[in-house]
Amino acid sequence: MNRLMVVFAFFYAISPMAAQKVHVDFDHACDFSHYRTYRWAGRPNAEFLNQLMQERVIGFVEEALATKRLKRVETGGDLLVGFRMNVQQQEIFTTFTDTMGFDWDWGSAISTTTSEQILLGTLTVDVVDANKNRLVFQAVSTASISSKPEKNTKKLAKTVTKMFEKYPPR
C-alpha cells in the first residue's frame, strides 16, 4: 500500500512538468475566410532558442499554416506571423511520506521533501492582419524544457499542431 502511495505521489508531483497547456485567443469580429497569404514579421524574439530550434519552430508554424491553406509570400501578404519564446526557471517540490502503524492516530511517519529546478518555456505565436495592423489570432503554449533537443523538437511539433487546431476560428 505504501509503495502505491509513493508512486501516486510521484506521478502527481511530476504532472506539472509533463503538462502542456495551449491557449488560443482571436478577434471574434474577424472574417478569417479572406486570408490567403502570410509573411514573417521580422526576426523572432527568442533569445533562449538557438538557431536550429528557431528554424524548427518556423518550419512547424509554416507546416501548420500550409495545412490551413495559407501560402507564404516574401512581400505583401494578408497576414503577418511572428513568434516569441520566454523561459523561466521554476522550482518543483515533491514530498514523500512513509507511514508505519495501523491508523493515523498510532505509529510514526517520516516525510522527505525534495526540490527540483525545471525550465518552463512559453511559446507565443501572433497572427496579425497586415492591412489593419491588428492582432487577429494568438496562441500561447507553456511546457517544460528538456535538456535533450530531440524531446524539445517533438514537444514543439505537438505544441504548434495544437496551437493551430482551432485556426481558423469558427
Q: Per-residue pLDDT for 16 more than 50?
A: no
pTM equals: 0.74
pLDDT value of position 5: 42
Q: Per-residue pLDDT for 96 more than 70?
A: yes
Q: Per-residue pLDDT for 31 more than 50?
A: yes
CA separation for the pair 131, 35 (Å, rounded) = 11
H or E element, residue 43: none
Contacts of 160 (CB under 8 A, 6+ apart): 57, 60, 61, 63, 64, 123, 125
Domains of the chain with CATH codes: 20-163 (3.30.160.670)
Residue 21 φ then ψ, to 5°: -110, 135
Average pLDDT over residues 38-44: 87
Share of the chain above pLDDT 90, in %: 51
Residue 131: pLDDT band (50, 70, 90) is very high
The number of beta carbons lying within 10 Å of the beta carbon of residue 126 is 17
48 within 8 A of 149, measured Cβ to Cβ? no
Structural Rg of the chain based on CA atoms:
22
90 within 8 A of 120, measured Cβ to Cβ? yes
Q: Per-residue pLDDT for 139 more than 60?
A: yes
What distance, in Å, lies between the first and last C-alpha atoms of the chain?
49
Average pLDDT over residues 16-29: 79
pLDDT value of position 114: 81
124 within 8 A of 46, measured Cβ to Cβ? no
Amino acid at 5: M
